[in-house]
Structure 1
Amino acid sequence: MAEDTYPETIHEETYKGYTIFIENNADRYRGGYEYTVSDGDDEIESGLVFTVEDGIGEAKAFIDSL
Structure 2
Amino acid sequence: MTENTYPETTYEETYKGYAIFIENSADRYRGGYEYTVTDGDDEIESGLVFTVEDGISEAKAFIDSL
Q: Same fold (TM over 0.5)?
A: yes
1:24 is matched with 24
Quote the offset at 1:37 in angstroms. Answer: 0.1
Quote the offset at 1:7 in angstroms. Answer: 0.3
Structure 1 gap ranges (5+)? none
Structure 2 gap ranges (5+)? none
RMSD: 0.4
Q: TM-score, normalised by structure 1?
A: 0.98
Structure 1 runs (4+) greater than 4 angstroms displaced: none
Quote the offset at 1:3 in angstroms. Answer: 1.1
Alignment of 1:21-60 (within 5 A): 21-60=21-60
Quote the offset at 1:4 in angstroms. Answer: 1.1
Identity %: 88
Return the alpha-carbon distance in structure 2 between the equivalents of residues 49 and 42 of structure 1.
21
Number of residue-to-residue matches in the alignment: 66
Quote the offset at 1:11 in angstroms. Answer: 0.2
1:63 is matched with 63
1:6 is matched with 6
Q: TM-score, normalised by structure 2?
A: 0.98
Describe the SS at the equivalent of 1:53.
helix
